[in-house]
Structure formats: structure tokens, C-alpha cells
């Protein structure tokens, strides 16, 4: 069956999108949502590993990169409203969502918004390192803690090097965004509703304490379509330590879309 290509003349992009290697004749757009505090530039190298007819669109939230002076969102409704208002011209044709950790929650919630309004859905949801909405948090919240305790918590959950956390100028710039993102992640309980009519593939780190691998299959109840789960070596940030294996699975999924 042939799949209609995305128009050669791509819509004008905005500050929400980082497009590392524009592919005007792509048949599929892949929106990538980074983890808390993350920049979409982390997806730059992915263009060499995914099919040549897929256009990567990294989602750049406020508070990072060239949006560093914009306050990051700490409330789900405001973030989703802004995303929905900013991306309508791009959420057309055929597209998929990928997200890691907080980014996976954002991808899922945006898909729910689209579904509730009868708008086109992603052809596939690829969710990495993120517990299913009904699964409780397994580690204490840190977003409300004083700076020093918050920084220690960041080191424990993300492996942020101590030298980075001790760089007071750098942390003064980055901490508000990190705190807002972590608040989003820690206050997320998911949106109730009917399962999405789109396939879901999840990726779990074998030693991930934030999204325990034995609970990841519970995402299956959130789709009426095909469900697939992959277990990869590593802790929470296995997308860095097991990147090659992760991209192999992503490529196979994209080729089937």
C-alpha cells in the first residue's frame, strides 16, 4: 500500500522545533520529546540511523537552547495548550511521537489531546523510560526541595556529574528549567480515558529505578492497537548507554509505519 508523502514544501518551522537534517520529501515525521532538562539536540546523531524518508523534529521546550530566557512550564495544562497551539501545521500527514522519561509523558498526553479533539493521531507512539500513567512513582519527589538537596537528588536520579552541580553560575541558569521539568515528571498521574487507537512501543532499561522494567508491559492497556515492549541494558538513561540497540528497534518500527 502506498503512503502519501509529506508535501515537499514543508511548513514554516518555529522556535518549538529543532530539525537537524531537513528531509523535504519525507513520508513520515518523527517528533522527539527529550527528558527533563534535555535539549532536542541530543537527537542530532539519530538522522544517520533512521530511515532516509523520515524527518526528525526535535521538540524544543522553553527554558533551553535559544529559549533559555523563556520560563519553563511546570503545569501540564499550560504546556499542552502551548504545544497544541504551536504545532498544528506540523501535525498533519503521517507522523510518530518518540519520548524519553518526562518526554514520553508529554508525547502520550499530547496524543490524548489530539484524540479527544478528533484530530489526526500519531501513526505510532514510542515511549522510553516512562512508567504507565497508573503506575505509582517509585522514588521520592525532589522538585520542592531547597537547592542543595535538589541538586543532590538530581545527581542520584540522573547521574549529573558533581562538577556540573557545583558550577554555581551554570546551575543558576539551568536550575529553574530543571526544577520545572522535574515538577512536571513528578506530578504526572496521566489522563484517564479510552485507550488510544494507535500502536504503542515501549523501551525499558533493565536496571531503571524510575520506570521499573517489570511494570512497563502495563502500557498495553493504553492502546487498542499493537503493543510491543523491548528491554535494553542500562539504567534510566539507557538511550545514551544503549543507543545503538534502541535505534535499531526504532528504525524497524519506523520502517513498518
The set of catalytic residues is 101
Give the residue from 128, 248, 115, 120 showing the smallest Cα distance to 200.
128
Inter-residue contact 3 to 94 (CB < 8 Å): yes
Instruction: Report CA-CA distances (Å) from 51 to 18, 187, 244.
Output: 18, 35, 14
Angle of CA points 118, 119, 124, to nearest 5°: 110
What ranges make up the beta strands (E) of 60-193?
A: 95-100, 125-128
Q: Which residues pair with 227 in a beta bridge?
A: 200
| Cα gap 164→94, rounded to integer Å | 40
Note the Cα 37 to chain centre separation in Å.
11
Instruction: Report CA-CA distances (Å) from 138 to 135, 186, 215, 247.
Output: 9, 10, 11, 27
Inter-residue contact 235 to 209 (CB < 8 Å): yes
- In this structure, the number of other CB atoms found within 10 A of the CB of residue 159 comes to 11
The secondary structure of the chain in percent helix, strand, coil, rounded to multiples of 5, reads 40, 15, 45
Amino acid at each position: 500500500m502506498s503512503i502519501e508523502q509529506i508535501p515537499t514544501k514543508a511548513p514554516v518551522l518555529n522556535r518549538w522545533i529543532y530539525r537537524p537534517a531537513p528531509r523535504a520529501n519525507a513520508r513520515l515525521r518523527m517528533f522527539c520529546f527529550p527528558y527533563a532538562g534535555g535539549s532536542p539536540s541530543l537527537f542530532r546523531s539519530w538522522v544517520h540511523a533512521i530511515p532516509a524518508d523520515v524527518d526528525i523534529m526535535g521538540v524544543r521546550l522553553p527554558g533551553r537552547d535559544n529559549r533559555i530566557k523563556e520560563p519553563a512550564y511546570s503545569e501540564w495544562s499550560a504546556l499542552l495548550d502551548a504545544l497544541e497551539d504551536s504545532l498544528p501545521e506540523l501535525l498533519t500527514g503521517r507522523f510518530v511521537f518518540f519520548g524519553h522519561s518526562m518526554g514520553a509523558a508529554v508525547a502520550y498526553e499530547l496524543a490524548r489531546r489530539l484524540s479527544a479533539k478528533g484530530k489526526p493521531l500519531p501513526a505510532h507512539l514510542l515511549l522510553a523510560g516512562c512508567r504507565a500513567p497508573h503506575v505509582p512513582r517509585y522514588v521520592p519527589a525532589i522538585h520542592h526541595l531547597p537547592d542543595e538537596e535538589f541538586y543532590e537528588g538530581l545527581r542520584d536520579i540522573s547521574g549529573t556529574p558533581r562538577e556540573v552541580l557545583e558550577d554555581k553560575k551554570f546551575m543558576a541558569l539551568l536550575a529553574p528549567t530543571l526544577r520545572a521539568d522535574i515538577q512536571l515528571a513528578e506530578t504526572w498521574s496521566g489522563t484517564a480515558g479510552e485507550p488510544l487507537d494507535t500502536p504503542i512501543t515501549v523501551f525499558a532499561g533493565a536496571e531503571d529505578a524510575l520506570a521499573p522494567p517489570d511494570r512497563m508491559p502495563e502500557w498495553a492497556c493504553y492502546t487498542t492497537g499493537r503493543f510491543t515492549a523491548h528491554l535494553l541494558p542500562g539504567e534510566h538513561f539507557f538511550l545514551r548507554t544503549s543507543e545503538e540497540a534502541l535505534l535499531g528497534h526504532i528504525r524497524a518500527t519506523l520502517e513498518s509505519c
